Amino acid sequence: MSKRAQLTLTLIIVGCIAAIVAGSVTLSNNMHTAEALPTNNLLVNGGAELGGYYQDGVPQLFVAKYWRAWWHETDTRPEYKIAEYAIDRHRIHSGTKAHQWFNNYATHTAGIWQRVDGLSVGRQLTLNGWVQAWSASHDNPRVSDGKYRLRVGIDPYGGTDPESLDIVWSETVQPYDQYFELTVSTIARSDRATVFVWGQAEWPMKHNNAYVDDLSLVQEGEPEPTPTPNPTSTPTVTPTPDPTTPTPVPTVTPLPPDLVDQIATETHNRIVKSLGEALILAGEFLLLEAAP
Ligand SMILES: [Ca+2]
C-alpha cells in the first residue's frame, strides 16, 4: 500500500473515532433531557421549564406558568416554588426545573391543576407524570422518615374542584426522594378535561415537600373521521383524448449493414492500438526497473 493510501486510510479511521467520541459526549450531556414529553402532549408547561408566576400576586405562591395551585382550606396552605436543578438536581426529572410545594412543621393536602379544551367526547385520555416526596424530621435531603402520599387524576368533565367525585385518580404512592411514574386513563366526557396532582402530608414533619415533573396528557384513539364529500358537487371530467388522432409511436431507424461493419472495425482497431501502447510502456518501465 502506498504512503498516500495509508495516510488516507488513517484519516478515515481517525475521523470515525472522532465522530463516535463526539456522539458519546453529546449523549451524556443530554441525558438529563432524555425523557422527552410526547409531541401530542395537551398540557402546557408540564415540566415547569417555562418557569412560574405569583398566583393572585401572593409571594408564597410561585406556581408554574399555566398551572393553578389548590389546597384544602381546612389545613395549612403550603408554599409553592419552582424546584431548580442548580439547587438539587435529584428533585428534577428532566430539564432544569420541576413543580414544588412544601411547608415546615405542618400538614397539608394540596396540589396543582390545569384544564385543557378542544377534546372529543368518547376518546381516551391518558395522564402521565413523575412525582416524589421529601418528608423528614431532619435536614438530610436524601432520607425521609415522614409520611407523604401522591397521586394524579383527570376530571373528564373539565371541573376545577379537586374534591369532585368525577375525578379518576391513579394509584396513590409514597415515592420518597426518587421519582416515580404515575399514569391514569379515562374517557373524555366533555370537550374539556382537568388534570390534578394531589399531595398529602400526613404528619407535621420539619420538611414536607412534593416534587412533580414531566406531566403529559394525551388524547388517544382514532382521529376524527374525514368529512364525507358533498354528493351534489359535480365531479371534474378528465378530457378523453381523441381516438382518431393516436399518438405516433417513435420508431428506430436501423443503420445500414455496411456502416455497422465499418464502426465495429474502427472500434476494434482503436482498442488493439491502445493495448499495444500500454504494453510498450509497461515493458519500458520493467527495463528501467531491471537496469542496474
Ligand atoms: Ca422539568
Cα 94 to middle of ligand 1, angstroms = 5
Output the pLDDT for position 282: 55
Q: What pLDDT does 24 receive?
A: 40
Tell whether pTM > 0.75.
no
Residue ranges of the chain with pLDDT lower than 70? 1-35, 222-276, 278-292
pLDDT of residue 70: 98
CA–centroid distance, 194 to ligand 1, in Å, is 20
Ligand 1 mean position to 118 CA, how many Å? 25
- Tell me, what's the pLDDT at 256? 57
The continuous run of DSSP H or E covering 281 comes out as helix 257-290
DSSP secondary structure code for residue 47 in this structure: T
User: Residue 181 is which amino acid?
Assistant: E
Distance in angstroms (rounded) separating the CA atoms of residues 193 and 135: 31
Measure the CA–CA gap between 273 and 207, rounded to whole angstroms: 96
pLDDT of residue 11: 45
Q: How far is the CA of 100 from the centre of ligand 1 (A)?
A: 11
pLDDT digits (tens, 9 = 90+) for 7-48: 454 444 444 344 444 444 333 333 455 457 899 999 999 999
Q: Which of 118, 124, 181 lies closest to 154, judged by CA?
A: 124
Give residue 26's pLDDT: 37
Q: What is the pLDDT of residue 27?
A: 36
Cα 156 to ligand 1 centre (Å): 25
Instruction: Centre a 10 Å sphere on the Cβ of residue 176 and count the other Cβ atoms it contains.
Output: 18
Distance 92 CA to ligand 1 centre (A): 6
Q: What is the distance in A from the centroid of ligand 1 to the CA of 180?
A: 14
CA of 214 to the centre of ligand 1 (A): 6
Question: Contact 80/61 with Cβ under 8 angstroms?
Answer: yes
Q: b/e string for 53-91 if b means 16 or more Cβ within 10 A?
A: eebeeeeebbbbebbbbbbeeeebbbbbbbbeeeeeeeb
pLDDT of residue 191: 98
The rounded Å distance from CA 280 to ligand 1 centre is 76
Cβ atoms within 10 A of the Cβ of 218, count? 17
pLDDT of residue 281: 61
- Name the nearest CA neighbour of 221 among 112, 101, 125: 125
Question: 99 C-alpha vs ligand 1 centroid, how far in Å?
Answer: 8
- Could you tell me the three cell numbers for 212? 412533580
Gap from CA of 66 to ligand 1 centroid (Å): 14
In 3-state terms, what secondary structure has residue 100? strand
